[in-house]
Amino acid sequence: MREALIDRIYEAAGTPELWPEVLQSVGETANSDGAVLMVLPPVGRPRWIASPALEPRLSHETAATSWRGGGRTAQWRAEAHAGFMRDVDLVPGSYDGRPCDGEKPFWQVGTTIPLPTGDVAIVTAERRAQTGPHEASILPRLDALRPHLVRACHLSARFNCERSRLTSMTLNQIGLPAAVLSASGRVLTMNARLQEREEILPPGQHGGLLFKSLINSKLLQDAIGNVVGGRHAAQTMPVRSYSDRRPQIAHIMRLERHPGDVFGASAVLLILVHVGARAVPDDGLLNMLFDLTPAEARLLQALAGGLRLQSYAESVGVQPSTVRTQLTSIFNKTGTKRQAELLSIVASLALFGGQTTKCFGAA
């Protein structure tokens, strides 16, 4: 039984949709209703996966627009113990043996797992308040699983880092200097075209590779915070060029991720472009950045080129309602709500001609 659970833990590292089943088994190991895996980024809202029994409760809690984790995560965030602990041990005297009066909705036993991306993962097994706190005898069973949970969480985070690296390499092939940054502004990876820029500091200075003109820049951190927090799909800012004095723009945008993946959403993509570059984007880049279908990419290209919805529908021989449905899907995928906002993002993507599509296919 334990060996089968360990196998499933590692399978979930590469297949996020398996986590709810794994968490249910972790909850059963702790004589609990279920378990929750929550990832806390330095900025933005926590992301979570729950076992089926706890999913409705978590959905209700996180529906509040101001939700940041609150008391649910505060006690575990500060806990550095390399093992599972009960909430009654974190807050001595929190349980006096009397029946619960309803003020405490559940009891937890949990552990904190720092991730290489700078995020923090918290795994908690939870039971109804009426059941009473977890027994101390449960801890050794959970501690036996913890090394495997740690490795699985680290593997998931590294899988996303590798995807980030491949993204930056693909952009390098089509001539775009690019980097992937953590939510705290730390560079996770950057491609060769960006490394060779004179705007970049060498490793070891100010905690990593950054633009000389954006070191400790509140503008940069605010842009990353807006993107990671979901307030904007993309942000732009000027960057001073030290080499050719040409004006440049840095674009910060979200990296698309698997719907069940809670480990990769803190990363953002930074693309450096020269002002005045061609504004109509390549469909391969649109697919990679926003996961657009070929039809959606063609529509977005047409809109960026100045074509109206009605004219585009007529040109491709489809009903206007079909085009409006595609546009709604584009809004959802890019995190925008208005066509003007959408086109401002698209118009800022500078691309090169030639074998762009072929490069994406080769990647």
Helix axes 320-334, 309-316, angle to 10 degrees: 120
Stronger pLDDT, 88 or 24, i.e. the higher one: 24
Q: Give yes or no: residues 196 and 257 share one domain.
A: yes
Distance between CA atoms of residues 160 and 14, nearest Å? 10
**Rounded Cα distance, 23 and 35, in Å:** 5
- Three-state SS for 123? strand
145/168 same-domain check = no
Q: Tell me: pLDDT of 45 over 60.
A: yes
Shared domain for 153 and 164, answered yes or no, is: no
Domain CATH for 335: 3.30.450.20
One domain for residues 139 and 190: no
Percent of the chain with pLDDT over 70: 71
Cα 166 to Cα 162: distance, rounded to the nearest angstrom: 6
User: Model confidence over 13-26: pLDDT tens digits?
Assistant: 888 889 999 999 99
Instruction: Tell me, yes or no, whether 317 and 210 share the same domain.
Output: yes
- Verify that 170 and 315 share a domain, yes or no: yes
Beta-strand ranges (E) seen in 1-119 are 34-40, 47-50, 85-86, 106-114
In whole angstroms, give the CA distance from residue 203 to residue 184: 17
Q: What is the DSSP letter of 108?
A: E
The predicted model gives 285-303 an average pLDDT of 80
Give residue 110's pLDDT: 92
Looking at the fold, whether 236 and 352 belong to one and the same domain comes out as: yes
Verify that 221 and 290 share a domain, yes or no: yes
Using the predicted structure, report yes or no on whether residue 216 has a pLDDT greater than 50. no
Is 164 found in the same domain as 151? Answer: no
Selection from 243, 233, 301 nearest residue 274 by Cα: 243
Domain-terminating residue out of 141, 157, 173: 157
pLDDT tens column, 160-209: 777 777 777 877 776 778 888 777 777 777 888 877 765 554 444 434 44
Q: pLDDT class for 78, splitting at 50, 70, 90?
A: low
pLDDT at 356: 33
In the chain, which ranges are E strands?
A: 34-40, 47-50, 85-86, 106-114, 120-128, 178-181, 187-190, 234-239, 248-254, 268-274
Query: Which residues are registered as beta bridge partners of 124?
Result: 36, 110
Q: How far apart are CA 37 and CA 266, in angstroms?
A: 16
Q: pLDDT for 52-74, tens place per residue? A: 999 888 887 777 655 665 666 66
Domain end call among 137, 157, 177: 157
Q: How many domains does the chain have?
A: 2
Domain boundary among 96, 125, 157: 157
Report the pLDDT value the prediction gives residue 171, as an integer from 0 to 100. Answer: 77
Question: In the chain, how long is the greatest CA-to-CA distance?
Answer: 74
pLDDT of 359 higher than 60 = no
- The verdict on 153 and 276 lying in the same domain is no
Q: For residue 115, is pLDDT > 80?
A: yes
pLDDT computed for residue 253 by the predictor: 81
Instruction: Verify that 122 and 175 share a domain, yes or no.
Output: no
- Rg from Cα positions in the chain: 23
**What is d(CA 163, CA 117) in angstroms, rounded to the nearest whole number?**
13
Locus of tokens 């959606």: 296
Structural domain span for residue 76: 2-157
What's 114's domain CATH number? 3.30.450.80
323 pLDDT more than 60: yes
pTM greater than 0.75: no
pLDDT tens column, 250-280 = 888 877 666 667 886 567 888 877 665 445 5
- Would you say 11 and 18 are in contact if contact means Cβ atoms under 8 Å apart? yes
Tell me how far apart the alpha carbons of residues 311 and 321 are, in angstroms, rounded to a whole number.
13
Question: Which of 151-160, 171-180, 223-232, 279-288 is predicted with the least confidence, judged by mean pLDDT?
Answer: 279-288
- Quick one: pLDDT band at residue 245, thresholds 50, 70, 90? low
Predicted local distance difference test score (pLDDT) of residue 112: 92
> Which of 8-12, 191-195, 197-201, 333-337 has the highest average model confidence (pLDDT)?
8-12
Buried b (16+ CB within 10 A) or exposed e, 299-312: bbbbbbeeeebeeb
Distance CA 343, CA 214 (A): 26
pLDDT at 39 over 80: yes
Judgement on whether residues 291 and 233 belong to the same structural domain of the protein: yes
Phi first, then psi: give them for residue 52, nearest 5 degrees: -55, -40
Q: Which two tokens stand for residue 316?
A: 């491709």
pLDDT band (50, 70, 90) for residue 93: low
* pLDDT, mean over the chain: 76
φ, ψ dihedrals at 28, nearest 5°: -65, -35
